Amino acid sequence: MSALQRLTSPIFAPDEQITSGTPRAAWVLNILTVLAVVGFAVGLYMGLVYAGMDTLQGNVQRIFYFHVATFSGGFIAFGTAVVGGILYLVTRNPRWDRLSLSGIEVGFFLSLITLVTGMVWARPIWNTWWTWDPRLTLMMIMMLTYAAYFMLRSAFENGDKKRRMASVYAILAFITVIMTLVIIRVRPDTIHPAVIGSSPVNAEGGFSMTDTMTTALGINSFIFSCLITPALIWWRIRLERLHEQANHLRAQL
Amino acid sequence: MVNTDSYLLLGLVVVLGVMLVYAGSLILRIRQAHKMIDTLETLQEQ
């Protein structure tokens, strides 16, 4: 099958392909899942043991390795949703809508970890769980925007219209991710530190990274972006294929 | 230096908790979907 044919192939392949994919794909997914689980354990070790302790903030600074890594994973997941949305609009192949939906669901949960771990870090460092800082506010807007995506999907019956609307929304919603990412560079009044590169003038809680800290951050970001996020998205796609197969069978009855 | 270990522990609970809840929900939903498909296939055969 050529790349173009694969891109535009219909939603329902033979039943065994809908439920479990090809044996090779299943094998790759199992390997990826094992790597993701092992990677998660390695990431915990890197963040909790390998990286040195920050002398000013104490051990709470170690949250940073998961806070940033989950945002990296979320960024990849939301970016995947954009790719899926664009490809759906171009090809009208539902497989790309499945990719988009899966990317957003996984990205949403990873962003939830980013948001809550940030609050936990802020309590001892900023002496508050929450403040309406530009970065934090935008992060909240981003989460609410993606929460609305699920409401949008549930408002339509299955079909092309639902998928088109969801694809357009997935593409536009990514603006909030970009804004959340760059706000600390363009707004000097934020108190959120930019650990990599120069920090805003009012940043509070920043620290200089040592070599072990840089390594732990890099490895955790890699694990969340390249192992955990793709594995979760792939499993979520499988689930969606099963839902579609069930709907297909239900329609036949 | 202030002792912030309890906040680290809370952060880890959040990371592990959300990851486990999401992975668990995926597993449960996949199992439920398989059961649903089996039931529908049985009904179809009948």
Write down the pLDDT at residue A3: 55
Query: For testing the chain A interface, which of B2, B14, B21, B25 should be mutated: the one with the most A CBs within 10 Å?
Result: B14
* CA–CA separation, A104 and A109 (whole Å): 9
Query: For testing the chain B interface, which of A68, A113, A150 should be mutated: the one with the most B CBs within 10 Å?
Result: A113
* CA–CA separation, A172 and A38 (whole Å): 35
List, in sequence order, the alpha helices (H) in chain B.
5-45
What mean pLDDT is predicted for residues A81-102?
96
Share of chain A above pLDDT 90, in %: 73
Does A29 have pLDDT greater than 80? yes
Write down the pLDDT at residue A204: 73
Write down the pLDDT at residue A193: 81
List, in sequence order, the alpha helices (H) in A92-207.
94-126, 134-154, 160-186
Does A84 have pLDDT greater than 90? yes
Write out chain B residues lying below 8 Å of A246, CB-based: 33, 36-37, 40
What mean pLDDT is predicted for residues B38-46?
92
Write down the pLDDT at residue A21: 63
* CA–CA separation, A121 and B4 (whole Å): 9
H-helix or E-strand containing A50?
none
Nearest partner of A169 among A202, A189, A145, judged by Cα: A145
The three-state (H, E, C) secondary structure of A131-157, written as one string: CCCHHHHHHHHHHHHHHHHHHHHHCCC
* CA–CA separation, A64 and A62 (whole Å): 5
| Measured torsion, CA atoms of residues B16, B17, B19, B20, in degrees rounded to the nearest 10 | 100
Tokens of A204: 């509070």
Does A11 have pLDDT greater than 50? no
Write down the pLDDT at residue B26: 97
Tokens of A212: 């072990």
Does A1 have pLDDT greater than 70? no
Write down the pLDDT at residue A65: 95
| Chain-centroid distance, C-alpha A227 | 12
* CA–CA separation, A188 and A211 (whole Å): 27
Nearest CB to A239 within list B4, B8, B26: B26
Does A88 have pLDDT greater than 50? yes
Model ipTM value:
0.93
> Nearest C-alpha of chain B: how many angstroms from A46?
14
Q: How far is CA A90 from CA A83, A94, A168, in A?
A: 11, 11, 11
Write down the pLDDT at residue A5: 55
Contact A215, A46 (CB under 8 A): yes
A20 against A83, higher pLDDT? A83
Q: What is the pLDDT of residues B3-39, one digit of tens each?
A: 899 999 999 999 999 999 999 999 999 999 999 999 9
Does A15 have pLDDT greater than 50? no
Backbone angles phi, psi at A58, to 5 degrees: 80, -160
Contact B19, A40 (CB under 8 A): yes
End-to-end, the C-alpha distance of chain B in Å comes to: 72
Q: What is the mean pLDDT of chain A?
A: 89
